[in-house]
Amino acid sequence: MAQGSSQPPPHRVAVIVDEGTNPFEVGVATELFGLPRPELGLAGPLYEVTVCAPAREVRMNHGFFTLTGVPGLEAVDGADTLVVPGRPDNVVPRAEAVLEAIRRTHARGARVVSFCTGTFALAEAGLLDGRRATTHWRWAELFRQLHPKVLLEPDVLFVDEGDLLTASGSAAALDLGLHIWRRDHGAELANAVSRRLVFASHRDGGQRQFVERPVPDVPDESLGPLLAWAQERLGEPLTVADLAARAAVSPATLHRRFRVQLGTTPLGWLTGERVALACRLIERGEERLDVVAARSGLGSAANLRARVRRETGLSPSAYRRRFGPTPGEEVGT
C-alpha cells in the first residue's frame, strides 16, 4: 500500500500466549504490529493486535510473568493473521484447545505465523505435513523425530509458504515480522519500521541462522560506517573488493566480519540492499525498469525482474500495481 492512498481497515493480528510461552517473542509481535506509528504519516494503524490465552492465568517461560485479563482463544476467530510464539518445552504436547484454535484459523484462510519453536505447535496441529518450515537449530533434530513429514529447513532465518510462515529463532522473528511488513505494505514502510526498531532493514529468509561459535578475544570493528557509505552508492558498480578496500581489510576478513555481524556475505548484503532500493523506487513512481535497475545498481531490467520476483514473489509491474502511487498521487523522492 502506497503512502497517501486510501487505507483499508487495520489488519487484525491475534497472538496466542500458552503455558511457558517466551515473553520476548510476544514482545516482538506487539512491537511490530501493535504500536502506534505516527512517523509513517498514515491516517490510522495498519495492524491491530489482540493477545489471547487458553486460560484466565498463564505462566510464561520460567514464571517470569503471569498473563491475566486477556481474551480467550475465541479471539483468534476474528484474526487475519495468527502469531504463535515458541516455548522451551517442545516434548510436552500443546493443549488441544490451542491446537484447535490454530487449525480453525488456518482452515478459514487466515495467515498463520510461528516464531522460533512455535513451529512445533503448527506441526502438532497438522498444518505443516508436506510443507516447508524452519525452527531453531537447537531443536531441529527433535523436530525431525517428532514431525518427519515436515520439510524442515534448519539453517535459514525464516520460511514463507504464503499462508504459513515460520521463523527460526527469537531474533529471526524480527526478520520475519519485517518481511511481513514488506509483503503487506512494501519496502518503504518496512524500512521506516526497521529504522524505528534500529534493526537491520533487510535480511533475506534464506540467510543461515547463527550457530554457536567461539567469541573472539578482540571484537571486530563495527560495519556501520561501511554500510552507510555503501548505501549511498548502491547505483555505482560497487564490488566486494571495493567494500574491502574502503574498510582497509582483505576480502576474506570482510567476509568473516559480515558473517559474524550480519549473518550474510558482503555480496548477499549488497544485493539485498539494491533490491530494497529498487522496490522503493518503484513505490515512488518510477516506471522505467532500466532506470530503476541502473539507480539501484542491479544493472539490467532482466536482473531487476529476477531479483524483485525472488524477494517479493511479484514481478516489478505487479509490485507497482500493489505498492506504487495511485494515479494523480504525488510521492516524494
Q: What are phi and psi of 97, to 5 degrees?
A: -60, -35
Q: What is the pLDDT, as a whole number, of residue 221?
A: 62
CB-based contacts of 235: which residues, under 8 Å, 6+ apart? 294, 295, 296, 297
Instruction: Print burial letters for 231-262: b (CB count within 10 Å at least 16), e (below 16).
Output: eeebeeebebeebbeebebeeeebbebbbebb
Q: What is the pLDDT, as a whole number, of residue 249?
A: 93
Q: What is the pLDDT, as a whole number, of residue 203?
A: 56
**Cβ pair 318, 312 in contact under 8 A:** no
Q: Are strands 164-167 and 111-114 parallel, antiparallel or unpaired?
A: parallel
Q: Which of 151, 72, 164, 160 is nearest to 109 (CA)?
A: 164
Q: What is the pLDDT, as a whole number, of residue 156?
A: 84
What angle is formed at CA 163 by the lines to CA 22 and CA 114, rounded to 5 degrees? 10
**Cβ pair 195, 188 in contact under 8 A:** no
Q: What is the pLDDT, as a whole number, of residue 328?
A: 53
- Taking the chain (333 residues) in runs of 10, the rounded mean pLDDT of each run is 64 94 93 89 90 92 86 95 92 91 97 95 96 92 95 89 91 90 88 77 50 42 84 92 94 89 85 90 90 94 92 87 69 43
At residue 279, what is the residue type? C
Q: What is the pLDDT, as a whole number, of residue 313?
A: 81
Judged on CB neighbours under 10 Å (0-12, 13-18, 19+), 15 is buried
